[in-house]
Amino acid sequence: MKKFKLGLCQLLVSENKKENIKNAEKMINSAADMGAELVVLPEMFNCPYNNSYFPKYAESYPDGETIKMLSKISKERGIYLIGGSIPEKDDKGNIYNTSFVFDKKGNIIGKHRKIHLFDIDVEGKISFKESDVLSRGDSLTIVDTEYCKIGVAICYDIRFPELFRLMVLKGVKVIIVPAAFNMTTGPAHWELLFRARALDNQVYMASAAPARDENASYISYGNSIITNPWGSIVGKLDEKEGILIKEIDLNRIDEIREQLPILKHLRKDLYQISLQK
């Protein structure tokens, strides 16, 4: 199958975990009703994006209430589901920023733990240090679907192009990056990064983000986005809660790679690209 419908759900996140889970379920159902075959949720969709909330909201696989909902609804609706991200706690007490991926039968087929932690300090604008609370992941995340291989990363991961090139060299054609850029980095870099990663690697890139809440401690930029292998924006939301549905045409990837064979022109005699995990 060379085409499928991708749905991005941009949710307004509150301090009420149960309400956030309920809202996510409602939005997933709406996206499925609109024909989405692969649905994506935002980064940290079940809790506010703030270090103080991560330990309190953290869940363990497979018993967490958010995880159970994601598995249940993906099976009920017969969709692939990339569950944005949530705080995940392992059996050693470490907490990760984790995206759980489910197939159409509700089985987990992938789990991405954010590799690059968001530790930044833009003077006078924003300061955040995920590493104060979160541990970092240590592996690529690629899942096989009936459509194509799909790569998964989370937010700050997108600023590291090596990660995305490795995914593409392993056969990935669509990369999903649940994210929560802010009002400093969003206007400056959001579109640029998604267009650049799509253009460099000749793949589709997509991200679902939380809707903007001006009263939150961390204000999300929103603007959930899909970019194509030519580097163009296929669709984008604004700052408000909403759903974006677009058809992903995998034939377009093959066409562009034939016309502009960047990946064939890699000079591996001058630079090495590891294909290790």
User: Of 47, 88, 155, 236, which is the active-site residue?
Assistant: 155
Over 93-140, what HEC string results?
A: CCEEEEEEEECCCCCEEEEEECCCCCEEEECCCEEEEHHHCCECCCCC
Q: How far is CA 6 from CA 79, 125, 170, 225, in A?
A: 10, 34, 22, 11
Q: Are 150 and 142 in contact (CB under 8 A)?
A: yes
148 is catalytic: no
Torsion, CA 153, CA 193, CA 122, CA 14, rounded to 10: -50
Element at 83 (helix H, strand E): none
* Whether 255 is catalytic: no
> In angstroms, rounded to a whole number, what is the distance separating the alpha carbons of residues 24 and 269?
48
Report the chain's terminal Cα–Cα distance, integer Å: 27
Residues making up the chain, counted from first to last: 277
From 43, 59, 130, 241, active-site residue: 43
Whether 155 is catalytic? yes
Give the residue numbers marked as catalytic.
Answer: 43, 114, 155
